Amino acid sequence: MSFSELGLSAELLAAVKKQGYEQATPIQREAVPPILDGRDILASAQTGTGKTAGFTLPLLQRLAAHRPKRRVVRALVLVPTRELAAQVIESVGNYGCNLPLKSAQIFGGVNIRPQISELRSGVDIVVATPGRLLDHVQRNTIDLSSVEVLVLDEADRMLDMGFIRDIRKVLQLLPDRRQNLLFSATFSKDIRSLAASILTTPVEIEVAPRNTTAERVSQLVHPVDKARKRELLSLLIGKGNWRQVLVFTRTKHGANRLAKQLTGDGLGAAAIHGNKSQGARTRALADFKSGKVRVLVATDIAARGLDIDRLPHVVNYELPNVPEDYVHRIGRTARAGQDGHAVSLVCVDEDKLLADIERLLKTRIDKQVVDGFAPDSRIQPEPIQNGRGQRQRPGRNRAGRKQAAGKPASRGGKRGGGARRRTHA
Ligand code: AMP
């Protein structure tokens, strides 16, 4: 379906054209018309499905349709991470390039002063992480009493990161009459209850993840001893001449150490995780995107929502503790119709994690021992260390996640085409 059939204005259609999009994605087809109608939305969609445009385009159209005399915050987009805030704000800028709307991004880890002056100069749209937004509320530097549209993007991640109390505080500051759009990759009990307390007769939209276990991502496991993973990784990158590789580690410390070691091996690498300053994260990402840095080593949370065009290789240096994160990780590759390649280096400690992932995917991942790297059968499994700073996600024990994660797997084969919409009366 083309964008022109969705009821979007000429200004927005021109902006979409400028982006080079030809067809609306399933989430865009399903979400744009009801959002334009002012309906609440409960959407199950991951990064990579085109969800940002799915809510940004109709949001911009609604805001542009009537403009108050004084510029006030009329749309609030809450996101879990600074990276996602930056990406949403970029989309708002791209899609809104022909409209007289102003937007600001609000996130922690950077000086608050420039944000204050931006807010003071007047903005229509605020994209914020919950903690810093509340800082502004406390300082009286933001007024949320005129918000007409609230978007919760990656709501499941916000709950994972412990933002629920902050979200509830923000909700109390918003007018009762408003439009609410909630996007989440998964639907746990907590998300359902948040949705029930916020949304009014929402249109429910479900789209199959565009790239997760899709046939476009080739997946491979290399069994290897833990102590030899780094050596194997350097070999794979060098021999395969991989120019752009996103590597996942379980801990921030592990990400730092690996980036250093790879750099020592002559492979330009940078680490990205929650302990890095915003400046360092932005720089690392920009260097990676431009090809200046060949390997980006990331933790799950830092990589969440990263949008890197044509990323060909994802490596699980360590398997994630929760199988669903595997799906998110490999979803970073094979975007926008490209082929992707996901490799996992699995040591004996991780056999159980691999079995959980295969159960979730309902498939076996091919295993291939690399010559010279056959695991030593005498090595016994040891408990997995999750690093000092790593918080146990509240309410997310393994069993709980498995249940929540079962959903995308059952839809895995319907990638791309499978949007379902259900209207709740
Ligand atoms: P998102 O799921 O919002 O993170 O978007 C993922 C990527 O898809 C972004 O790089 C968008 O620029 C791109 N995208 C969004 N909508 C479309 C479309 N209709 N056609 C092609 N690419 C798109």
Decide if 98 contacts 12 (C-beta within 8 A). Answer: yes
For residue 285, the model assigns a pLDDT of: 87
Decide if 324 contacts 404 (C-beta within 8 A). Answer: yes
Distance CA 329, CA 319 (A): 10
Q: Ligand 1 mean position to 39 CA, how many Å?
A: 23
For residue 408, the model assigns a pLDDT of: 34
The Cβ-side half-sphere exposure at 189, using a 13 Å CA radius, reads: 7
Which ranges of the chain have pLDDT less than 70? Answer: 208-216, 304-305, 307, 309, 334-338, 387-425
Task: Kindly give the pairing relationship between strand 269-272 and strand 295-298.
Answer: parallel
For residue 401, the model assigns a pLDDT of: 35
Q: Ligand 1 mean position to 258 CA, how many Å?
A: 31
For residue 277, the model assigns a pLDDT of: 80
- Verify whether ligand 1 is closer than 6 Å to residue 331 (CB atom): no
Q: Ligand 1 mean position to 405 CA, how many Å?
A: 24
For residue 274, the model assigns a pLDDT of: 77
The domain locations on the chain are 3-206, 217-361
At 52, list the tokens. 């940002």
Select the CATH number that applies to the domain covering 217-361 from these four: 3.40.470.10, 1.20.120.530, 3.60.15.10, 3.40.50.300. Answer: 3.40.50.300
Q: Ligand 1 mean position to 204 CA, how many Å?
A: 20
Distance CA 248, CA 259 (A): 11
Select the CATH number that applies to the domain covering 3-206 from these four: 3.30.70.120, 3.30.420.10, 3.40.50.300, 3.40.470.10. Answer: 3.40.50.300
Decide if 194 contacts 155 (C-beta within 8 A). Answer: yes
- Verify whether ligand 1 is closer than 6 Å to residue 103 (CB atom): no
For residue 418, the model assigns a pLDDT of: 38
**What does the DSSP assignment read for 12-79?**
HHHHHHHHT--S--HHHHHHHHHHHTT--EEEE--TTSSHHHHHHHHHHHHHHHS--SS----EEEE-
The Cβ-side half-sphere exposure at 141, using a 13 Å CA radius, reads: 19
